[in-house]
Structure 1
């Protein structure tokens, strides 16, 4: 009953907003101001930063273990409907919860792909920048991000970590490969299987990379206790400038320790 009442309230509030007319003086003022942009999570907000945008607010709190599972409230719907653009990934629970209560046209909904590979960061930042006209600034920020990853890859080679046999969480494989790690197998995001546990038990894996937002590698340690395990993030723990580069840099430092 509680879930039904929340959805109903969202629909009522959004319908009320949609029905309200926009005075001409308000419309003129809106045309002269910078576009208001909201992102779904700290990760999509980080892509907005790389797209050349500054201090984009986001809906799901960054301190959640798994931000996409955040349950929206009425105030969140208002923020999204009052924004000129909403940047999202599509897998967020809020996208299903809000349903038709989002009163936005297709052009104002910017859907991006979230993985931290250099190739994808370039593509998604370019997509956002093309909409916002921020291509020059975006190019600078993406170059800085790429430099962080390339510096990390150099350190990986210097320490010989590229020679390790790696078993990697599927949500972290993109960065692992960009760093030059030898990913011999992947697991997740669902629970590990008996076959995967048996694979690790056979031995030979030097490193396991788990995902802090969906940690599932614990069974591997029971069958291969000497294998090193590192845990990486995908969702930055803050918003704002350089948030993705800072997070990836921290992932790299955990690996190098």
Structure 2
């Protein structure tokens, strides 16, 4: 019965992926950094697809993303002068403080576009606060509220569906520090974290001694995740694809976490 529930969840996720715009969220997304502009709307330049996805969720349609969506670790992208050309004509320039090229964005803005730092964390509370804030800033509060209604409904479905098939007691997991909150969706018990610094030999020994069932790995930093004998690795994504569909990130991770539960 539990596996039937998991199969239904996976099928539902796949159906949503087909019915909604794009099914991104994986590292092999084709590049393409701009959504179709709407007449009269603000022009937004976003540092990465994650930042851009929040602008799109808030109701903006004219979005240019600096770091291509298919870059492995977007914050490390080194933009060319041509990448920064759009910044000069932007109404708003959105970036995360940990983006390595944030200073270049600020310089390129030249005081014309409004600089807007964005807090990135794929938790419901943070997504709600940032989308609501951006919707108010852009004058698109109604569109932001409508998107959040859809997000709340789909997140509840993902979370309850995964927890319904989760074993009791819960699986134990070690996680990259930036991915640990994904354990809440499925109900994993996080017994240790690692990163953002490289894992030392001593830390690896400590994590291995905890005998976790799962490693929640950072898919955007493939070389930073430890291999622990007996633990199943789940590559978790935070950055959406070129379609800037933040919900696709949740669909992708729900499917990957569901596959671990099924095994």
Same fold (TM over 0.5): yes
Task: Select 1:108's aligned residue among 101, 105, 114.
Answer: 114
1:251 aligned onto 2:253: yes
1:65 aligned onto 2:67: no
Task: Select 1:128's aligned residue among 124, 134, 141.
Answer: 134
What are the ranges of 5 or more consecutive residues in structure 1 without an aligned counterpart? Answer: 1-31
Report the counterpart of residue 232 of structure 2 in structure 1. 228
- Relative to 1, partners in 2 of residues 1:220 and 1:48: Cα closer, same or farther, differing over 3 Å? same
The Cα shift of 1:154 comes to 1.1
TM-score, normalised relative to structure 1? 0.78
The Cα shift of 1:133 comes to 1.4
CA distance in 1, matches of 2:251, 2:108: 38
The Cα shift of 1:217 comes to 5.8
What are the ranges of 5 or more consecutive residues in structure 2 without an aligned counterpart? Answer: 1-38
Q: Root-mean-square deviation (CA), in Å?
A: 2.1
1:155 aligned onto 2:157: no
Structure with larger Rg: 1
- Relative to 1, partners in 2 of residues 1:249 and 1:98: Cα closer, same or farther, differing over 3 Å? closer
Runs of 4+ in 1 over 6 A off after TM superposition: none
**Greater fraction of residues in helix:** 1
Report the counterpart of residue 41 of structure 2 in structure 1. 34
Aligned residues: 220
Q: Deviations over 1:90-127 (max 9, x none)?
A: 2222223456343125x711111001000000111111
Decide which moves more: 176-185 or 204-213.
176-185
TM-score, normalised relative to structure 2? 0.77
CA distance in 2, matches of 1:197, 1:178: 25
Higher relative contact order (CA 8 A, sep 6+): 2
CA distance in 2, matches of 1:233, 1:69: 16
